[in-house]
Structure 1
Amino acid sequence: MAGGHPRPAAGGGRAVTNDRKTQLAENLARVEECISAACARAGRPRDEVTLIVVTKTYPASDVRLLAELGVRQVAENRDQEAAPKAAECADLPLTWHFVGQLQTNKVRSVAGYAGIVQSVDRVRLVTALSKEAVRAGRELGCLIQVALDAEAGERGERGGVAPDGVGALAEAIAGAEGLRLDGVMTVAPLVGPYAGRELAAFERLMEISSDLRAGHPAATMVSAGMSADLEEAVAAGATHVRVGTAVLGVRPRLR
């Protein structure tokens, strides 16, 4: 659905920038059509679903172009890449989402730029996020990452807390200074009972969200679905989809 980086065009940097902006605009339009069609099939208003563009491995110049095209929500999964990129784009009206597995030694940095941490999966991380949010004088939104491939009490291969651990983690976040419990997130499992069953996985996440909202009514955010499975996520009821490749192109391999 998307191409890679454009080849340099004749005429210098401005032509390259214009080519890239055109490419991003076309890709965004295709993603918008996909989300709109999925909403229509599900009988949902289009404004119920927010697009988050995952900008990992792409430069700050692309983030700037996306902002010019109306994107307001962007995501990163590695602090060493995200921190300088967020600093370079600090003048833009963006909300940065951190979506990767987060080590406690990176929390101070992430708390400085992220508006929402989508990968909260353990109480120790909650404690660290709370400390740094207070130190920075900020409120951090938190999503509980749910590992649908996890056995009870075990961590999933992509991080996350097992479904039966969501309640306790929610209480920890809700009671932590500087943090705001916003909802839940998952990545479609590659193994376990939901492997290859993205719609069923996201429907299970919606059940977990419903249980969570019974005790925490404001925790309405459900982040699910990426480029390959955003339609299933919308069908299940996701409020936010995380799309990278379909907007920015196939990522270069990390060295």
Structure 2
Amino acid sequence: MTDRKEEIAANLARVEERIAAACAAAGRARDEVTLIVVTKTFPASDVRILSELGVRHVAENRDQDAAPKAAACSDLPLSWHFVGQLQTNKVRSVVGYADVVHSVDRAKLVNVLSKEAVRAGREVGCLIQVALDAGASGRGERGGVAPEGVAELADLVAGSEGLRLDGLMTVAPLTGEYAGRERAAFERLMDLSTDLRRNHPAANMVSAGMSADLEQAVAAGATHVRVGSAVLGVRPRLG
């Protein structure tokens, strides 16, 4: 365990240095960017180590892994973020532990999230996931709503009981006009955030950037970066 804590601490320090350098290069204060450590496929013991090292935000993308892990770590001062595509049949479970859902991308999901949040007596933060690679279907390969669908969905979230509209999220597209152009993709997301805040001034969270491209996200103006492998190492294979 000591070796693992030393390994995570060293990785975390390197990521912190990267974020600090990116903030400095962009003329931003370090406290403008929040690190969310993506703990998917890693054990609850790693989450405990992260908490001991001062991490306060962790993320998961599969409810079947996240729910028992969140329960095992319920004594820790953590905010849990759900970042994966969310099926409506998993919403009741996710609402039980997630403080923020980053992957809100359709009206049906908003309606179910609202119903379950009210039932649980919780307020759940919601980010609209934007698909910058959305094709004719209006959705991206990894979920998300097309940019032109953001305003309508945001209004629905903002008007739904038990939900709080926090802002926008994206994953750098692998296809389409932004493939290989992470900085441009994140700048497009910032433009959409500016548009969103005209009607919803408090929805100022912008979740973008991962281990490989966090610098581009910070340069564009992201408020939250989601980093997994750079902190915790190469993920174990799922069985």
TM-score bracket for the superposition, by shorter chain length = over 0.9
3-state SS of 1:113 partner: coil
- Alignment correspondent of 1:215: 199
Tell me the equivalent position of 1:12.
none
Question: 1:205 & 1:198 partners in 2: Cα distance?
Answer: 11
Query: Which position in structure 1 is the counterpart of 2:36?
Result: 52
**CA offsets, 1:191-238, max 9 Å, x none?**
000000000000000000000000000000000000000000000000
Superposed CA deviations along residues 91-132 of structure 1, whole A, max 9, x for unmatched, are 000000000000000000000000000000000000000000
Aligned residue number for residue 99 of structure 2: 115
Q: Does 1:252 align with 2:236?
A: yes
Is 1:173 the counterpart of 2:160? The answer is no
Instruction: Provide the TM-score with structure 1 as the length reference.
Output: 0.93
**Structure 1 residue ranges without an equivalent (≥5):** 1-16
Tell me the residue number matched to 1:196. Answer: 180
Give CA-to-partner distance per residue, 1:157-208, whole Å, 9 cap, x none.
0000000000000010000000000000000000000000000000000000
| 1:152 Cα deviation from its structure 2 partner | 5.8
Structure 1 outlier segments of 4+, above 2 Å: none
Q: TM-score, normalised by structure 2?
A: 0.99
Contact 1:152/1:163 (8 A) holds in 2: no
In the aligned structure 1, how far is the partner of 2:17 from the partner of 2:6?
Answer: 17
Q: Does the 8 Å CA contact 1:213/1:220 hold for their aligned counterparts?
A: yes
Aligned-partner residue type, residue 54 of structure 1: V
> Structure 2 counterpart of 1:176, which letter?
S
Alpha-carbon distance in structure 2 between the residues aligned to 1:24 and 1:250: 12
* 1:74 pairs with 2:74: no
1:103 pairs, out of 79, 84, 87, with: 87
> Tell me, which stretches of 5 or more residues in structure 2 are unaligned?
none
1:235 to 206, 219, 227: 219
Q: How far apart are residue 153 of structure 1 and its match? A: 5.3
Rounded Cα–Cα distance in structure 2 between residues aligned with 1:152 and 1:27: 41
The offset of 1:154, in angstroms, is 1.4
Rg comparison, structure with higher value: 1
Asked if 1:41 corresponds to 2:41, the answer is no
Within the alignment, does 1:32 sit opposite 2:16 as a pair? yes
- Percent of paired sites with the same residue: 79
- Partner residue of 2:121 out of 117, 137, 143: 137
How much has 1:254 moved relative to structure 2?
A: 1.6
Structure 2 SS opposite 1:234: helix
C-alpha displacement of 1:151: 2.9
Residue 205 of structure 1 pairs with residue 205 of structure 2 = no
* CA distance, structure 2, for counterparts of residue 115 and residue 165 of structure 1: 24
Letter in 2 for 1:234: V
Work out the CA distance in 2 between the residues paired with 1:153 and 1:56. 29
Alignment: residue pair count: 239
